[in-house]
Structure 1
């Protein structure tokens, strides 16, 4: 069955609504959600049993990952963090703690916190047991709506080419688990979403 591609304006409209809702969150709500999200994510066997986790540093009003990154590192996990390349692809480096992060400016994009350690190359992600994906929403089928930059589409395509099958997990606020998101042929379902209220798993 051939799926009809979504109207681009449908994704744009939904992204705008979700980003506006995030901007409206209070600092206290963000702090509370960050702590609860870390606890939820650590309950996932895909993370607790992983040796290497590819993650990311949250910025702005994204669901907070800082507590989770430190908890994973304390638990002895090898945590890889992305470095944005000029073509929007991602390089990777090992997370060595908060002191090993530096603010990076990318033309036309938000300022990011990136690892300062040795770059391992874009293919380093293929050795991860679990990959934490940023997103704006996930639907009840496990389909993810990203920001539209394409960086993680490249990551997912690289994993597929390498025959790598890490667990794919999205970190979201509770209200960002929705009935349905617009889907395109290249989109990949995820295995689970962690929210401040707990974990939702999806069938393969």
Structure 2
């Protein structure tokens, strides 16, 4: 379906669909995504989870981050570095977030380094789309591909999506990193091959 479409065109099309989505539809997606993730065994048992504070039209992660933090999970959130890589710092509740690079919310706690993501038991990542093999289409900066390259092969990596963003196949480049699962509002967690 998407074999002959460029990543740039596909990204623009999918982001356009998100932008056209009614705000209440986007808001309603947060709860089933949160609830599905909170019931995944790896998430329930995780001591450390690397996640992200959602921006713009992404599935909202605020209630998920708060729920993880309140139940005692150590949550790491990214801080965008000037070279596009991601540093990580501790999430200490909603009041610990400050505007970061490009207006992205990031933790105000001290940075722990780009390698801190490797200590996570589960890694939650943003995506514009994911295919059935786990190939992830992000926003095009490569930041999460670099972070995912530091994550061990046994670690559950999950992309958060809206319904309709799990697609048959996506174009891929050698630097692209796969995720092991995706979560959508209507389907919950889907483990990918």
Q: Same fold (TM over 0.5)?
A: yes
CA-CA distance at 1:180 after TM superposition: 0.6
Match of residue 50, structure 1, among 26, 46, 50:
46
Whether 2:191 is the aligned partner of 1:201: answer: yes
The aligned counterpart of 1:62 is: 58
CA-CA distance at 1:135 after TM superposition: 0.7
What SS does the corresponding residue of 2:150 show, helix, strand or coil? helix
The aligned counterpart of 2:142 is: 150
CA-CA distance at 1:164 after TM superposition: 6.3
Query: TM-score scaled by structure 2?
Result: 0.92
Match of residue 183, structure 1, among 169, 172, 180:
172
Residues 75-94 of structure 1 show CA distances to partners (whole Å, capped at 9, x for unaligned) of 21100000111111111111
Whether 2:73 is the aligned partner of 1:77: answer: yes
Residues 41-63 of structure 1 show CA distances to partners (whole Å, capped at 9, x for unaligned) of 11222211211000000011101
What SS does the corresponding residue of 2:36 show, helix, strand or coil? helix
Distance in structure 2 (CA, Å) of the matches to 1:201 and 1:156: 17
Q: Which runs of 5+ in 2 are unaligned?
A: none
What SS does the corresponding residue of 2:25 show, helix, strand or coil? helix
Paired positions, count? 190
Whether 2:29 is the aligned partner of 1:39: answer: no
Extract structure 1 runs of 4+ deviating beyond 6 A: none
CA-CA distance at 1:153 after TM superposition: 1.4
The 8 Å contact of residues 126 and 164 in structure 1, kept in 2 or not, is answered as no
Q: Which runs of 5+ in 1 are unaligned?
A: 1-5
Match of residue 18, structure 1, among 11, 14, 36:
14
Query: TM-score scaled by structure 1?
Result: 0.88
The aligned counterpart of 1:120 is: 112
CA-CA distance at 1:147 after TM superposition: 1.1
